[in-house]
Amino acid sequence: MKVVITGGAGFIGSRVARTLLARGKLANQAGVQTDISELVVFDIAEAQNLPEDSRLRTVVGEATDRALLAEVVDGADSVFHFASVVSGGAEADLQLGLRVNLDGTRMLLDLLAEGGQKPRLVFSSSLAVYSDGSGEVNDQTVPTPKSSYGVQKLCCEHLIGDYSRRGLLDGRSMRFPTIAVRPGKANLANSSFISNIIREPVAGRETVCPVPADTEITLMSPGRLIEAIIKVHDLDAKDLGWPKALLLPAVRVSVNQMLDALEDQVGPEARARVSFATDEKVYAMVKTWPIEIRANRATALGIETDADAAEIVADFVTESAG
């Protein structure tokens, strides 16, 4: 089977690529575990840290290039659609976010529909589709996004649901919480600070946290997310049910709890590398995010999140040391 990952050079996309190459199989359209014969990683940048593998092909280009995208997804049995302008970038440039996040996704859906293979599609949505940071979000919570990024993600969820209802493809949207701890450089996502306050001190670098120490946020570790992505892909559409957008579980932690875990794992000198200077623009956005997630539907499907901040930080420290 042919598998495509858009945004495949990114942190999540590249981890999914490595996992799929090691796993070797995915459920096909009929739900039968099938060997992956071709894995296409498509992104605006060249993918790094991927293994040499005869099944792997990398393509560099714009996600809005229809001719190139058509070639990339031609004959695809499964598509993981992670290509996106992140939250801060979409808020800073409305037209860029609309062009990539909304128009680019619709273009992809049209191409997959025209191909006639009815592939499985996994789409990375976000908790940004919600906006009430004061309370609990559960499977019945009505999305009310208050950011351009959240609006764009919600629009894509509805499109994917409609294309699936029409039998043009088999789509599944996943509402990602903040994923931490991410290695590499910080990006324009408003949530990037939560990775920065762990990653940078572990590497011996100082960093500034743009929100107060008692700020709470909902997190999932990269390892748990990759497990969830594969599980959601392989689910029978009947088991996933409706709506096609699935809220993922997440653990509620504070900045202070993350720093406590950092100190326990690395020492007080690491914690001392984190200083605080509130960025009101970032803080205002963070305060709209939900701080309690009750994802009973995902939990019933066997999707789990992390136990606490200590587990998330310990996983990152162990992986960094390896």
Q: What is the pLDDT of residues 171-225, one digit of tens each?
A: 999 999 999 998 877 666 778 899 999 999 999 999 999 999 999 999 999 999 9
149 included as an active-site residue: yes
Handedness of CA 124, 174, 14, 149 (dihedral sign): positive
CA 238: distance to chain centroid?
23
Residue 132 has pLDDT above 80, yes or no: no
Token pair for residue 173? Answer: 């949207």
Query: Are 37 and 75 spatial neighbours (Cβ–Cβ below 8 Å)?
Result: no
Tens of pLDDT along 61-99? 999 999 999 999 999 999 999 999 988 899 999 999 999
Average pLDDT over residues 138-153: 94
Q: Which of 217, 224, 203 minimizes the C-alpha distance to 298?
A: 224
Task: For the chain, give every domain's residue range.
Answer: 2-178+220-247, 192-218+251-291+306-321
The arrangement of secondary structure in 2-178+220-247, i.e. its CATH architecture, is 3-Layer(aba) Sandwich (3.40)
* 192-218+251-291+306-321 has the same fold as 2-178+220-247: no
Instruction: Select which of 130, 149, 163, 283 is catalytic.
Output: 149
Q: Which CATH number fits domain 192-218+251-291+306-321: 3.10.105.10, 3.90.25.10, 3.20.20.80, 3.40.50.720?
A: 3.90.25.10
Tens of pLDDT along 25-56? 999 999 999 999 999 999 999 998 899 999 99
Query: Are 197 and 262 spatial neighbours (Cβ–Cβ below 8 Å)?
Result: yes
